[in-house]
Amino acid sequence: MSVMDKIEILKGIDNRDDTGTTGSETHRSNRYQVIKTLLLIVATASAGFGAIFGSIGTEMTALGPTLFFIGLILVCASIGIFAVLAGVGGGVIFVPLFMGFTNIDSYIIRSTGLFVATVGALIAARPFLRKGIANIRLLYTAALPYAVFAVIGSLMAGYIKSSMGPSSEAFIQGTLGVLVIGIGVLFVMKKNSEYPDVNHVDAFTEAMNLPMPYFEDSLGKVVSYRVKRAKVALVLFCVVGLISGLFGLGAGWAMVPVFNMVMLAPLKVAATCSKVMISIGDTAAVWPYIQGGGMFPLFAVPSMIGMVIGTLIGTKIMLRVKAGFIRPLIIIVMFGSGIRLIMKALG
Protein backbone atom coordinates (compact mmCIF):
# COMPACT_ATOMS: atom_id res chain seq x y z
CA MET A 1 0.00 0.00 0.00
CA SER A 2 1.43 3.40 -0.97
CA VAL A 3 1.75 6.43 1.30
CA MET A 4 -1.04 8.25 -0.56
CA ASP A 5 -3.36 5.24 -0.13
CA LYS A 6 -2.74 5.35 3.60
CA ILE A 7 -3.50 9.07 3.65
CA GLU A 8 -6.80 8.48 1.84
CA ILE A 9 -7.72 5.90 4.48
CA LEU A 10 -6.88 8.37 7.24
CA LYS A 11 -9.14 10.97 5.62
CA GLY A 12 -12.06 8.68 6.36
CA ILE A 13 -11.45 8.80 10.11
CA ASP A 14 -14.09 10.91 11.85
CA ASN A 15 -13.70 13.10 14.90
CA ARG A 16 -15.09 10.49 17.31
CA ASP A 17 -12.60 8.07 18.86
CA ASP A 18 -13.21 4.51 19.99
CA THR A 19 -14.46 5.64 23.38
CA GLY A 20 -17.15 7.87 21.89
CA THR A 21 -15.43 11.10 22.82
CA THR A 22 -16.02 13.99 20.42
CA GLY A 23 -13.26 16.22 19.06
CA SER A 24 -14.36 19.24 21.13
CA GLU A 25 -14.37 17.19 24.34
CA THR A 26 -10.91 15.87 23.53
CA HIS A 27 -9.67 19.41 22.89
CA ARG A 28 -11.02 20.64 26.23
CA SER A 29 -9.38 17.71 27.99
CA ASN A 30 -6.10 18.52 26.27
CA ARG A 31 -6.29 22.12 27.47
CA TYR A 32 -6.79 21.02 31.07
CA GLN A 33 -3.79 18.70 30.78
CA VAL A 34 -1.70 21.56 29.40
CA ILE A 35 -2.61 23.83 32.32
CA LYS A 36 -1.64 21.16 34.85
CA THR A 37 1.58 20.52 32.97
CA LEU A 38 2.52 24.22 33.01
CA LEU A 39 1.98 24.38 36.76
CA LEU A 40 4.24 21.35 37.17
CA ILE A 41 6.90 23.00 34.99
CA VAL A 42 6.88 26.20 37.06
CA ALA A 43 7.17 24.29 40.33
CA THR A 44 9.98 22.09 38.99
CA ALA A 45 11.94 25.02 37.60
CA SER A 46 11.61 26.97 40.85
CA ALA A 47 12.92 24.05 42.89
CA GLY A 48 15.78 23.46 40.49
CA PHE A 49 16.91 27.08 40.33
CA GLY A 50 16.75 27.34 44.09
CA ALA A 51 19.04 24.34 44.49
CA ILE A 52 21.53 25.44 41.83
CA PHE A 53 21.82 29.14 42.59
CA GLY A 54 21.82 28.50 46.31
CA SER A 55 24.79 26.15 45.99
CA ILE A 56 26.64 28.51 43.62
CA GLY A 57 26.43 31.37 46.09
CA THR A 58 27.81 29.36 49.01
CA GLU A 59 30.98 27.44 49.69
CA MET A 60 30.73 23.94 48.25
CA THR A 61 30.30 21.34 50.97
CA ALA A 62 30.10 17.56 50.73
CA LEU A 63 26.44 17.94 49.81
CA GLY A 64 27.10 20.75 47.32
CA PRO A 65 27.82 18.62 44.24
CA THR A 66 24.79 16.44 44.96
CA LEU A 67 22.45 19.42 45.20
CA PHE A 68 24.02 20.91 42.09
CA PHE A 69 23.60 17.65 40.16
CA ILE A 70 19.95 17.17 41.18
CA GLY A 71 19.06 20.83 40.72
CA LEU A 72 20.61 20.89 37.26
CA ILE A 73 18.59 17.83 36.24
CA LEU A 74 15.36 19.53 37.37
CA VAL A 75 16.17 22.78 35.58
CA CYS A 76 17.14 21.07 32.33
CA ALA A 77 14.02 18.88 32.45
CA SER A 78 11.94 22.06 32.58
CA ILE A 79 13.99 23.58 29.77
CA GLY A 80 13.46 20.43 27.69
CA ILE A 81 9.68 20.66 28.03
CA PHE A 82 9.64 24.36 27.16
CA ALA A 83 11.96 23.84 24.20
CA VAL A 84 9.91 21.10 22.54
CA LEU A 85 6.61 22.95 22.94
CA ALA A 86 8.11 26.19 21.59
CA GLY A 87 9.94 24.42 18.76
CA VAL A 88 13.32 25.78 19.86
CA GLY A 89 16.57 24.14 20.87
CA GLY A 90 17.20 23.81 24.58
CA GLY A 91 20.33 25.92 24.14
CA VAL A 92 18.40 29.12 23.43
CA ILE A 93 16.93 28.92 26.94
CA PHE A 94 19.85 27.19 28.68
CA VAL A 95 22.66 29.53 27.54
CA PRO A 96 21.09 32.92 28.42
CA LEU A 97 19.88 31.65 31.81
CA PHE A 98 23.21 30.23 32.92
CA MET A 99 25.34 33.00 31.44
CA GLY A 100 23.10 35.63 32.96
CA PHE A 101 22.65 34.18 36.45
CA THR A 102 25.78 32.12 37.19
CA ASN A 103 29.54 32.68 37.17
CA ILE A 104 30.32 29.57 35.12
CA ASP A 105 32.72 30.19 32.22
CA SER A 106 30.75 31.20 29.12
CA TYR A 107 32.71 28.87 26.84
CA ILE A 108 31.66 25.89 28.97
CA ILE A 109 28.05 27.13 29.03
CA ARG A 110 27.95 27.59 25.25
CA SER A 111 29.51 24.19 24.70
CA THR A 112 26.98 22.55 27.02
CA GLY A 113 24.18 24.58 25.43
CA LEU A 114 24.91 23.04 22.04
CA PHE A 115 25.23 19.64 23.68
CA VAL A 116 21.87 19.75 25.47
CA ALA A 117 20.18 21.20 22.37
CA THR A 118 21.56 18.31 20.33
CA VAL A 119 20.51 15.65 22.84
CA GLY A 120 17.02 17.08 23.19
CA ALA A 121 16.58 17.33 19.45
CA LEU A 122 17.78 13.77 18.88
CA ILE A 123 15.22 12.48 21.37
CA ALA A 124 12.41 14.52 19.83
CA ALA A 125 13.29 13.69 16.22
CA ARG A 126 12.19 10.05 16.23
CA PRO A 127 8.45 10.42 16.99
CA PHE A 128 8.18 13.51 14.77
CA LEU A 129 9.74 11.65 11.82
CA ARG A 130 7.78 8.47 12.51
CA LYS A 131 4.45 10.32 12.45
CA GLY A 132 5.44 12.19 9.30
CA ILE A 133 5.01 15.68 10.83
CA ALA A 134 8.66 16.62 10.28
CA ASN A 135 9.06 17.03 6.52
CA ILE A 136 12.14 15.07 5.44
CA ARG A 137 12.36 16.98 2.15
CA LEU A 138 12.55 20.31 3.93
CA LEU A 139 15.17 18.86 6.27
CA TYR A 140 17.41 17.66 3.45
CA THR A 141 17.18 21.10 1.83
CA ALA A 142 18.02 23.14 4.93
CA ALA A 143 20.47 20.83 6.75
CA LEU A 144 23.58 21.43 4.63
CA PRO A 145 23.80 25.26 4.84
CA TYR A 146 22.81 25.25 8.50
CA ALA A 147 25.33 22.58 9.56
CA VAL A 148 28.25 24.07 7.60
CA PHE A 149 27.79 27.57 9.01
CA ALA A 150 27.15 26.24 12.53
CA VAL A 151 30.61 24.65 12.46
CA ILE A 152 32.10 27.93 11.18
CA GLY A 153 30.43 29.74 14.09
CA SER A 154 31.88 27.25 16.60
CA LEU A 155 35.37 27.78 15.18
CA MET A 156 34.88 31.55 15.48
CA ALA A 157 33.92 31.10 19.14
CA GLY A 158 37.22 29.34 19.85
CA TYR A 159 39.17 32.03 17.98
CA ILE A 160 37.51 34.85 19.94
CA LYS A 161 38.27 33.11 23.25
CA SER A 162 41.95 32.57 22.42
CA SER A 163 42.59 35.97 20.82
CA MET A 164 40.65 38.26 23.19
CA GLY A 165 41.39 36.46 26.48
CA PRO A 166 39.39 37.53 29.56
CA SER A 167 37.79 40.44 27.68
CA SER A 168 35.98 37.91 25.49
CA GLU A 169 33.60 37.17 28.40
CA ALA A 170 32.20 40.70 28.47
CA PHE A 171 32.05 40.81 24.67
CA ILE A 172 30.11 37.55 24.42
CA GLN A 173 27.80 38.46 27.32
CA GLY A 174 26.95 41.88 25.89
CA THR A 175 26.49 40.65 22.33
CA LEU A 176 24.42 37.68 23.46
CA GLY A 177 22.31 39.93 25.70
CA VAL A 178 21.38 42.16 22.77
CA LEU A 179 20.71 39.10 20.59
CA VAL A 180 18.51 37.43 23.22
CA ILE A 181 16.42 40.58 23.68
CA GLY A 182 16.10 40.68 19.89
CA ILE A 183 14.85 37.10 19.97
CA GLY A 184 12.29 38.12 22.59
CA VAL A 185 11.12 40.98 20.36
CA LEU A 186 10.88 38.54 17.45
CA PHE A 187 8.62 36.28 19.52
CA VAL A 188 6.45 39.28 20.45
CA MET A 189 6.13 40.71 16.94
CA LYS A 190 5.94 37.62 14.78
CA LYS A 191 2.47 36.55 13.73
CA ASN A 192 2.71 32.81 13.30
CA SER A 193 -0.06 31.13 11.39
CA GLU A 194 -0.84 27.53 12.21
CA TYR A 195 -1.86 26.87 8.62
CA PRO A 196 -0.65 29.69 6.31
CA ASP A 197 -2.43 30.26 3.01
CA VAL A 198 -0.04 29.94 0.03
CA ASN A 199 -1.49 31.47 -3.13
CA HIS A 200 1.57 31.34 -5.39
CA VAL A 201 4.70 29.18 -5.38
CA ASP A 202 7.84 30.34 -7.17
CA ALA A 203 9.36 28.12 -9.87
CA PHE A 204 12.48 27.22 -7.84
CA THR A 205 10.48 25.98 -4.84
CA GLU A 206 7.95 24.22 -7.05
CA ALA A 207 10.74 22.31 -8.80
CA MET A 208 12.08 21.08 -5.44
CA ASN A 209 8.73 19.40 -4.62
CA LEU A 210 9.05 19.99 -0.87
CA PRO A 211 5.53 19.58 0.64
CA MET A 212 4.52 16.32 2.35
CA PRO A 213 0.98 15.87 3.83
CA TYR A 214 0.66 14.60 7.38
CA PHE A 215 -2.07 13.47 9.78
CA GLU A 216 -2.89 16.09 12.44
CA ASP A 217 -4.06 14.41 15.68
CA SER A 218 -5.60 17.56 17.18
CA LEU A 219 -7.81 18.05 14.10
CA GLY A 220 -8.42 14.39 13.30
CA LYS A 221 -7.61 14.83 9.61
CA VAL A 222 -4.83 14.90 7.01
CA VAL A 223 -3.27 18.33 6.40
CA SER A 224 -1.92 19.13 2.93
CA TYR A 225 0.13 22.29 2.41
CA ARG A 226 2.53 24.12 0.06
CA VAL A 227 5.67 26.17 0.73
CA LYS A 228 7.45 29.00 -1.10
CA ARG A 229 10.59 31.24 -1.12
CA ALA A 230 13.11 28.39 -0.76
CA LYS A 231 15.98 30.56 -2.10
CA VAL A 232 15.53 33.17 0.63
CA ALA A 233 15.21 30.47 3.27
CA LEU A 234 18.53 28.87 2.26
CA VAL A 235 20.37 32.16 2.79
CA LEU A 236 18.69 32.65 6.17
CA PHE A 237 19.67 29.15 7.29
CA CYS A 238 23.32 30.08 6.69
CA VAL A 239 22.99 33.13 8.97
CA VAL A 240 21.11 31.14 11.62
CA GLY A 241 23.77 28.42 11.62
CA LEU A 242 26.55 30.96 12.14
CA ILE A 243 24.80 32.53 15.14
CA SER A 244 23.94 29.10 16.57
CA GLY A 245 27.54 27.90 16.52
CA LEU A 246 29.03 31.16 17.80
CA PHE A 247 26.76 31.50 20.83
CA GLY A 248 25.83 27.85 21.45
CA LEU A 249 22.14 28.69 21.25
CA GLY A 250 20.73 26.03 19.02
CA ALA A 251 18.57 27.66 16.37
CA GLY A 252 14.91 26.79 16.83
CA TRP A 253 14.17 30.40 17.76
CA ALA A 254 15.02 31.40 14.16
CA MET A 255 14.26 28.24 12.19
CA VAL A 256 10.60 28.20 13.22
CA PRO A 257 10.02 31.73 11.79
CA VAL A 258 11.96 30.83 8.63
CA PHE A 259 9.90 27.69 8.02
CA ASN A 260 6.58 29.26 9.09
CA MET A 261 6.83 32.94 8.12
CA VAL A 262 9.18 32.81 5.12
CA MET A 263 8.38 29.42 3.57
CA LEU A 264 4.80 29.40 4.97
CA ALA A 265 4.90 25.83 6.27
CA PRO A 266 2.29 24.95 8.95
CA LEU A 267 3.38 25.92 12.46
CA LYS A 268 3.60 22.35 13.77
CA VAL A 269 5.62 21.30 10.71
CA ALA A 270 7.93 24.27 11.33
CA ALA A 271 8.39 23.40 15.00
CA THR A 272 9.06 19.70 14.40
CA CYS A 273 11.40 20.35 11.46
CA SER A 274 13.25 22.81 13.68
CA LYS A 275 13.89 20.15 16.34
CA VAL A 276 15.17 17.63 13.80
CA MET A 277 17.37 20.27 12.14
CA ILE A 278 19.01 21.07 15.47
CA SER A 279 19.92 17.40 15.91
CA ILE A 280 21.70 17.50 12.54
CA GLY A 281 23.53 20.84 12.65
CA ASP A 282 24.46 21.08 16.32
CA THR A 283 25.90 17.56 16.34
CA ALA A 284 28.59 18.90 14.02
CA ALA A 285 28.91 22.31 15.68
CA VAL A 286 29.63 20.94 19.17
CA TRP A 287 32.90 19.25 18.15
CA PRO A 288 35.05 22.42 17.92
CA TYR A 289 33.90 23.26 21.47
CA ILE A 290 34.89 19.79 22.69
CA GLN A 291 38.32 20.11 21.07
CA GLY A 292 38.69 23.53 22.67
CA GLY A 293 38.14 22.10 26.19
CA GLY A 294 34.61 23.44 26.63
CA MET A 295 32.98 20.18 27.73
CA PHE A 296 32.90 19.80 31.56
CA PRO A 297 31.34 16.42 32.54
CA LEU A 298 29.97 17.50 35.96
CA PHE A 299 28.03 20.21 34.17
CA ALA A 300 27.21 18.41 30.90
CA VAL A 301 26.01 15.04 32.23
CA PRO A 302 23.18 16.23 34.52
CA SER A 303 22.21 18.76 31.86
CA MET A 304 21.90 15.93 29.35
CA ILE A 305 19.87 13.73 31.73
CA GLY A 306 17.44 16.53 32.50
CA MET A 307 17.10 17.46 28.84
CA VAL A 308 16.28 13.87 27.89
CA ILE A 309 13.58 13.65 30.57
CA GLY A 310 12.08 17.01 29.65
CA THR A 311 12.16 16.33 25.92
CA LEU A 312 10.36 12.99 26.30
CA ILE A 313 7.62 14.69 28.31
CA GLY A 314 7.39 17.66 25.94
CA THR A 315 7.23 15.45 22.86
CA LYS A 316 4.24 13.52 24.20
CA ILE A 317 2.46 16.79 25.02
CA MET A 318 3.18 18.40 21.65
CA LEU A 319 1.79 15.50 19.63
CA ARG A 320 -1.61 15.99 21.31
CA VAL A 321 -2.07 19.75 21.56
CA LYS A 322 -2.05 22.75 19.27
CA ALA A 323 1.21 24.68 19.04
CA GLY A 324 1.91 28.21 20.20
CA PHE A 325 0.59 28.40 23.78
CA ILE A 326 4.05 28.36 25.37
CA ARG A 327 5.28 31.54 23.66
CA PRO A 328 4.53 34.07 26.48
CA LEU A 329 6.71 32.13 28.92
CA ILE A 330 9.60 32.01 26.44
CA ILE A 331 9.31 35.79 25.93
CA ILE A 332 9.66 36.42 29.68
CA VAL A 333 12.78 34.21 29.84
CA MET A 334 14.35 35.96 26.83
CA PHE A 335 13.87 39.50 28.14
CA GLY A 336 14.94 38.69 31.68
CA SER A 337 18.07 36.84 30.61
CA GLY A 338 18.99 39.44 27.99
CA ILE A 339 18.82 42.32 30.46
CA ARG A 340 20.86 40.36 33.01
CA LEU A 341 23.54 39.55 30.41
CA ILE A 342 23.92 43.19 29.40
CA MET A 343 24.20 44.20 33.07
CA LYS A 344 26.99 41.64 33.60
CA ALA A 345 28.83 42.81 30.48
CA LEU A 346 28.76 46.40 31.71
CA GLY A 347 30.19 45.31 35.08
pLDDT at residue 14, rounded to an integer: 42
Is the separation of the CB atoms in 84 and 64 below 8 Å? Answer: no
pLDDT at residue 235, rounded to an integer: 93
pLDDT at residue 19, rounded to an integer: 46
CA 97 to chain centre: 15
CA 301 to chain centre: 19
| N-to-C CA span, the chain | 65
pLDDT at residue 190, rounded to an integer: 65
Positive or negative: CA dihedral 291, 294, 296, 297 = negative
pLDDT at residue 44, rounded to an integer: 52
Tens digits of pLDDT across the chain (347 residues)? 444 454 444 444 444 444 454 545 555 555 555 555 554 555 555 455 554 554 444 444 444 777 888 888 888 888 878 777 765 667 777 888 888 878 888 888 888 888 887 877 777 777 777 777 888 888 888 888 999 999 999 999 888 888 877 777 788 888 888 888 887 787 777 665 677 778 888 888 888 888 888 887 767 788 888 888 889 999 999 998 898 888 887 777 778 788 888 888 888 888 788 878 888 888 888 888 888 888 888 888 998 898 888 878 877 776 666 555 566 766 777 787 788 888 878 87
Is the separation of the CB atoms in 330 and 88 below 8 Å? Answer: yes
Query: What DSSP assignment string belongs to 86-148?
Result: HT--THHHHHHHHHHH--S-HHHHHHHHHHHHHHHHHHHHHHHHHTT-S-HHHHHHHHHHHHH
pLDDT at residue 192, rounded to an integer: 57
pLDDT at residue 322, rounded to an integer: 57
pLDDT at residue 103, rounded to an integer: 81
pLDDT at residue 151, rounded to an integer: 92
288 closest CA partner among 255, 246, 249, 252: 246
Counting every residue written for the chain, the total comes to 347
Query: What DSSP assignment string belongs to 198-226?
Result: -----HHHHHHT----EEETTTTEEE---
Q: Is 14 exposed, middle or buried (0-12, 13-18, 19+ CB in 10 A)?
A: exposed
